[in-house]
Amino acid sequence: MIGKEHLFFAVVQPGFEDTAKREFLSMGFSVSPDFIEGGIEFSGRIDDCCRACIMTRTSSRIVMRLGRFRSERFNLLEKDIAAFPWELYIPLSGEIRFRASAKKSMIYHTGKLEEIFARGISARLKLYKGDINLNDEESPGDPAVSTLILRNDKDLCYVSLDASGEFLYKRGSREFVTKAPLRESTAALILLEAGITNYDRILDPMCGSGTFSMEAAGILTSSPAAAERRFAFMWWPCFKENNFLHIKKECLGKTLLPGKVKVEIITSDIDEKAVAAAKLNCHASFPGILNPEVRNFFDIKFSDNKGVKTLLVINPPYGKRISERDILNFYRRMGDKIKSDFKDCGVAIIVPGEEAERALGIQYNRKKLFMNGGIRGAILFKDA
């Protein structure tokens, strides 16, 4: 298990697959060139999976591909399950959970599919209970939970094992949130797609709880996204704590000190409560780099824009945060402000629909569709 190459899948916000692929390539992973909607495939050893979970800012989940099982008949599926070495991947004691889907298959009832796998895996693991201990090191003290993802498609059941556990966008660093928070992984994807490393200044003028600014600081300092988290792979029989601690130390060792960061990040919001939350979050994670302040976006002007390449990133209020009657006027005002005071800047701005996009009225180079908090929207990108 430890020395062997495995296939992994990183779950990504649809529409940003190429952005995530660039991140994984920059971290040295062997990434499949094939396009897969909603994610990317990469190959590597167990240590590479650990490193990916610690470092990636763009993925919300990482799973290990285990294989595919014939499912056109019950006996074939049961035979394949019985022959598979589950004891190498799943602790001999603990809870097994399933997330199943099925289409165009003889076994179309997901409950039945889960039942067959649960029965077969349980029978296989019972053969080894009390006979061997595959993990010669201490596992985390929490109860072991293994999550298997079953996708039954055209009588072939594809099985993956969750490696990351809780969603990776939950960094554990943002304790205080405001209304309609942006997922950290989405913020990172937007910043990377906008080309954050090509700019001298990042302006986050509607910061909310500070998500854009903290992800910007994380990218610019090469900080591990989830160094202090626990992951599902820590309960795998092959998990070696010493290996994990060594990988974690390596990842932390690449982090730049605040004085080495040459890009200025300006964080602000008109809402005092939002700025208070952002200060608590930012000062805890990136002291010396981020200092949120109360400021109205429409009052911001820079006299030193010449020679300073600026990226403007905005997650404006929409949905329940602003009435439908006021939203178009607000987007018109934002568009006028951008065209007058930030016309030479790069822009990445979230818009909640085509009406808001037309009201904004700015020229852009590309557009990415996405969902945030159940609201369909898009991100417009304008390059400087």
pLDDT tens-digit series, residues 225-249 = 999 889 999 999 999 999 999 999 9
Range of the domain at 111: 6-162
Query: How much of the chain, in percent, has pLDDT values that exceed 90?
Result: 78
61 belongs to a structural domain: yes
Please state the rounded mean pLDDT for residues 138-152. Answer: 81
Please state the rounded mean pLDDT for residues 336-365. Answer: 94
Please state the rounded mean pLDDT for residues 308-334. Answer: 83
Amino acid present at 42: F
For residues 126 and 260, membership in a common domain is answered with no
1 belongs to a structural domain: no
Q: State residue 324's pLDDT score.
A: 57
Can you list the alpha helix ranges (DSSP code H) found in the chain? 17-26, 46-55, 74-83, 110-126, 184-193, 211-220, 241-253, 272-285, 324-341, 354-360
Say how far apart CA 157 and CA 113 lie, in whole Å: 9
Q: State residue 373's pLDDT score.
A: 66
pLDDT greater at residue 375 or residue 158: 158
For residues 275 and 137, membership in a common domain is answered with no
Please state the rounded mean pLDDT for residues 125-141. Answer: 58
245 belongs to a structural domain: no
- Residues linked to residue 366 through DSSP beta bridges, in sequence order: 381
For residues 111 and 191, membership in a common domain is answered with no
Q: State residue 177's pLDDT score.
A: 60
Q: State residue 23's pLDDT score.
A: 98
Q: Inform me whether the pLDDT recorded for 137 exceeds 50.
A: no
Phi-psi region of 104 (alpha: psi -120 to 50; beta: other; left: phi over 0): left
Full DSSP string of 334-371: HHHHHHHHSTTSEEEEEESSHHHHHHH----SEEEEEE
What confidence category does residue 327 fall into, taking pLDDT thresholds of 50, 70 and 90?
Answer: confident
Give the pLDDT confidence of 249-292 residue by residue, as tens digits: 999 999 998 888 989 999 999 999 999 999 999 988 898 899 99
Please state the rounded mean pLDDT for residues 70-97. Answer: 94
The average confidence (pLDDT) of the chain is 90
Q: State residue 132's pLDDT score.
A: 38
For residues 149 and 275, membership in a common domain is answered with no
DSSP at 92? S
For residues 157 and 191, membership in a common domain is answered with no
Highest mean pLDDT among 189-203, 291-305, 324-338: 189-203
Q: State residue 376's pLDDT score.
A: 80
What confidence category does residue 20 fall into, taking pLDDT thresholds of 50, 70 and 90?
Answer: very high
Please state the rounded mean pLDDT for residues 306-320. Answer: 85
226 belongs to a structural domain: no
Say how far apart CA 118 and CA 55 lie, in whole Å: 33
Q: Number of folded domains in the chain?
A: 2
For residues 93 and 14, membership in a common domain is answered with yes
What confidence category does residue 176 fall into, taking pLDDT thresholds of 50, 70 and 90?
Answer: low
For residues 216 and 339, membership in a common domain is answered with yes
Q: State residue 130's pLDDT score.
A: 46
For residues 134 and 212, membership in a common domain is answered with no
141 belongs to a structural domain: yes
Say how far apart CA 248 and CA 154 lie, in whole Å: 41
CATH number at residue 17: 3.30.2130.30
Please state the rounded mean pLDDT for residues 35-61. Answer: 97
Please state the rounded mean pLDDT for residues 346-360. Answer: 94
For residues 195 and 340, membership in a common domain is answered with yes
Give the pLDDT confidence of 98-119 residue by residue, as tens digits: 999 999 999 999 999 999 999 9
For residues 10 and 117, membership in a common domain is answered with yes
Q: Report helix, strand or coil for 70.
A: strand
CATH number at residue 342: 3.40.50.150
228 belongs to a structural domain: no
Q: State residue 115's pLDDT score.
A: 95
Report CA Rg, the chain: 23
Q: State residue 306's pLDDT score.
A: 66
For residues 207 and 343, membership in a common domain is answered with yes
Provide the pairing of β-strand 375-382 with 346-351.
antiparallel
For residues 131 and 190, membership in a common domain is answered with no
345 belongs to a structural domain: yes
168 belongs to a structural domain: no
Say how far apart CA 96 and CA 149 lie, in whole Å: 11
Say how far apart CA 152 and CA 145 lie, in whole Å: 22
